[in-house]
Amino acid sequence: MKKYWLIFRLSWQNALTYRLNFVMWRVRSIIGFLASYLFWLAIVNSNQNIAGYNPSLLLTYIFVSAFLRNLVLSNVSYGACVEIAGGDLSNYLIKPLGYFKYWLTRDLADKALNLSFFSVEIIIFYLILKPQIVLTQHLWLFLAISFLAALLYFFLSFLISTYAFWHPEHNGWPFRFLFIMLLDFLSGSSIPLDIFPPQIVKIFQVLPFSYLVFYPNQIWLNRVNTNQIINIFLITSFWLIAFYLIFRLVWRRGLKNYSAYGR
């Protein structure tokens, strides 16, 4: 356990080595937040009700999405992809160290760091923008589902990294890029998914991506009843287990394939 705690601390040290780099990263996150906030603000000013969202619900959705982006979608473990493609994976495989746990630790460290900065930023924005925030009645459930969502994203992202075992070209970026593009839309991190027609919402409901941002958000917004909450937890857990099992299978096959040839 001690080794992972040290990895956690080293990750912070590493991230804070380049102050400018870190500041730019935060600026990027802030711009993303402001852009979608101001966009929706303009819309709610002319329409008072959009697909069941009144202005304060919608603006809260954006605030909560910003939180979930920092908790769930922040991720440094895409580095695994580069290490698999480039052969640096070898450095870990020869040591008594779990590669999966190593990146999980680094991701946790990254999320913790992002969240601590985010909490300061969000308070500042709250004071400046003064939106009417909807408070949740299910704080603990919200935190619990957010945690599961973060884990789900980690598994999903790690699974995508294993793609580099078979396709090391461009460090596995072609596929990851596509994934990130799709994710931004499918997770509902900038648009509440239920403003789309019900048939499309049904598809979102089956896919795992909406459980990363959209459904946790719905729990915060008190827009789901007890049955729906149970469903959300069940489906998230199902995907979590499914991805974990697929990951284990793929990882084992990937390692056999890891020829390390010239890498």
The residue ranges that bind another protein (CB under 8 A) are: 2-3, 6-7, 10, 13-14, 17-18, 87-88, 90-91, 93-97, 255-256, 258-261
Q: How many Cβ atoms are within 10 Å of 93's Cβ, its own excluded?
A: 11
- With contact defined as beta carbons under 8 Å apart, do 163 and 71 qualify? no
Q: Which is nearer to another protein, 6 or 51 (CB)?
A: 6
Minimum distance from residue 86 beta carbon to another protein (Å): 9
Q: Minimal distance in Å, beta carbon 183 to another protein?
A: 27
Cβ of residue 109: shortest distance to another protein, in angstroms? 13
Tell me, what amino acid is at 176?
Answer: R
In angstroms, what is the minimal distance from the CB of 3 to another protein?
A: 4
Q: CB nearer to another protein: give 37 or 258.
A: 258
Closer residue to another protein in complex, CB, 93/241: 93
SS3 168: coil
**DSSP string of 113-125?**
HHHHHHHHHHHHH
Of 3 and 138, CB closest to another protein: 3
Residues contacting 92, CB < 8 A, separation 6+: 83, 99, 102
Tracing tokens 């440094």 back to the chain, one arrives at 76
